[in-house]
Amino acid sequence: MKHLQMVKIMQRTLQEELGDSFRSNRQMLFVSGPRQVGKTTLARQLAEEFRGGSYFNWDDQAHRKAILAGPERVAALTGLQRLREEKPLCAFDELHKYRHWRDFLKGFFDSWENRAHVLVTGSARLDVFKRAGDSLMGRYFPYTLHPLSVAEIVRPERDGSLTRPPRRIDEEAWRALWRFGGFPEPFLKVEQRFHTRWNRLRNEQMLREDLRDLTRIQELGQIEMLAMNLARHVGQLTGFSKLAREIRVSVDTARRWVATLESLYYCFSVRPWHNNVTRALRKEPKYYLWDFSGVEDPGARAENLVASALLKATHWWTESGQGDFGLYFVRDKQKNEVDFLVTRDRRPWFLAEVKSSGQVGLSKSLSLFQEQTGAEHAFQIGFDLPYEDADCFTHRGPIIVPAVTFLSQLA
């Protein structure tokens, strides 16, 4: 299959960025992202790229024993005391499960900064699960590894631009992405039975094993109900009072549990933008799944797919140092709404409204909110429109664009 060959290349996109960062900077690199997104493969490949590299996984008993013995033991196993022509890479996978991981990293980095590159990966947000100990501020740069997207499939090579010229995605790859999501294994397998089993196992591991290892939450059944409710209400305004009633917990507990699901990369939030918007909604967020293949409603899945692509782009642009980018939605108290607003250096850059059909007229909310926010572009994204070899970002006023064209131009 053609898209199988493309994925073998595209998985190296972030790898190239990380390798360049190691060669240019002294900082450790933290790579976090959801389970099964390819972090372990990335860590192993980088460890091989730097001659004499070592890979340590907290879930491996022998590796855990070495880490618990302290930085000197890890340095001895890696051979850091020996003269080297170039610095090797020490990769630590799932290290956040160790209660004192920050203390360990600080000690290791401060002792061996000049003799080793350090990569840390985890299936939970490393900025959330901070334990007691000294700060690592200034000692690391964060990155996020996302599932595959249209932009990554059609253009695996890096460049320094924000938006890229459009490029057609292979029809087979587009169908696989829509049906099975962007996680590499089910995307490559292209088999419904495998996807069903893979998805069930991944959710069980995340909603039970990871919760057990990283939190003190005991009500695992209620957490699973909460996750299912979020999946059913993708892209809708989230009322925590309603969520709390559905799973019979307090509102504060519901908020904490949703935040925990975010930290474990089950879902992510998009919050309302209200600057310069008349009678804007200010509080209630919307939630989307990292694995949009779990969204059953086609319209909601389309919106989630675009949300995932925009989140990936804003993370990449920010983490690679191209500016401060954010993802929001816009809604006022008259229920005028646009699905997404992307900001650049805290200023509105472009609006994006998602439609299953490209045959419907332009949403009046695009013009309304483009005028109020001053966004440079306003797109209405049609999922049933064929690819057009035209740059969406050359247009200023509201315009209807094919999803496959628009998504190919992101990072």
- Between CA 41 and CA 273 the distance in angstroms is 37
- Between CA 157 and CA 16 the distance in angstroms is 9
Q: Which of 7-21, 212-226, 364-378 shows the lowest per-residue confidence on average (mean pLDDT)?
A: 7-21
- Between CA 165 and CA 392 the distance in angstroms is 9
More confident residue, 222 or 12: 222
- Between CA 33 and CA 148 the distance in angstroms is 12
- Between CA 119 and CA 114 the distance in angstroms is 14
Categorize the per-residue pLDDT at 3 as very low, low, confident or very high, splitting at 50, 70 and 90. low
- Mean pLDDT, to the nearest integer, of 265-273? 96
Query: What one-letter code names the amino acid at 308?
Result: S
Please check whether residue 87 is in contact with residue 75, taking contact to mean a CB–CB distance below 8 angstroms: no
User: From the centroid of its chain, how far is CA 408?
Assistant: 17
Q: Name the 3-class secondary structure at 124.
A: coil
- Mean pLDDT, to the nearest integer, of 257-272? 95
- Give me 21's structure tokens: 């960062």
pLDDT greater than 50 at residue 1? no
Please check whether residue 100 is in contact with residue 6, taking contact to mean a CB–CB distance below 8 angstroms: no
pLDDT tens profile 122-174: 887 776 654 444 578 889 999 999 999 999 999 877 777 899 999 999 999 99
How many C-beta atoms surround the C-beta of residue 219 within 10 A?
15
Q: Is 221 exposed, middle or buried (0-12, 13-18, 19+ CB in 10 A)?
A: exposed
- Between CA 57 and CA 121 the distance in angstroms is 9
pLDDT tens profile 60-88: 999 999 999 999 999 999 999 888 888 99
pLDDT greater than 50 at residue 211? yes
| H-type alpha helices, 205-346 | 211-214, 220-232, 240-247, 251-263, 298-319
Looking at the chain, how many residues does it have?
411
- Between CA 14 and CA 141 the distance in angstroms is 14
From the list 243, 242, 208, the residue with the least C-alpha distance to 226 is 243
E-strand stretches of 145-285:
267-272
- Between CA 175 and CA 182 the distance in angstroms is 11
Q: Which residue bears the tokens 């190296």?
A: 12
Does this model's pTM top 0.75? My answer is yes
Q: Which residue bears the tokens 């989630």?
A: 304
Please check whether residue 209 is in contact with residue 224, taking contact to mean a CB–CB distance below 8 angstroms: no
- The continuous run of DSSP H or E covering 105 comes out as helix 101-112
- Between CA 216 and CA 177 the distance in angstroms is 35
Q: Is 91 exposed, middle or buried (0-12, 13-18, 19+ CB in 10 A)?
A: buried
Please check whether residue 237 is in contact with residue 335, taking contact to mean a CB–CB distance below 8 angstroms: no
- Give me 277's structure tokens: 């918007």
Task: Return the DSSP state at 392.
Answer: G
Q: Name the 3-class secondary structure at 288.
A: strand
More confident residue, 369 or 44: 369
- CATH architecture of the domain 2-144 equals 3-Layer(aba) Sandwich (3.40)
- Between CA 80 and CA 62 the distance in angstroms is 19
pLDDT of residue 380: 98
Residue ranges of the chain that CATH labels 3.40.50.300? 2-144
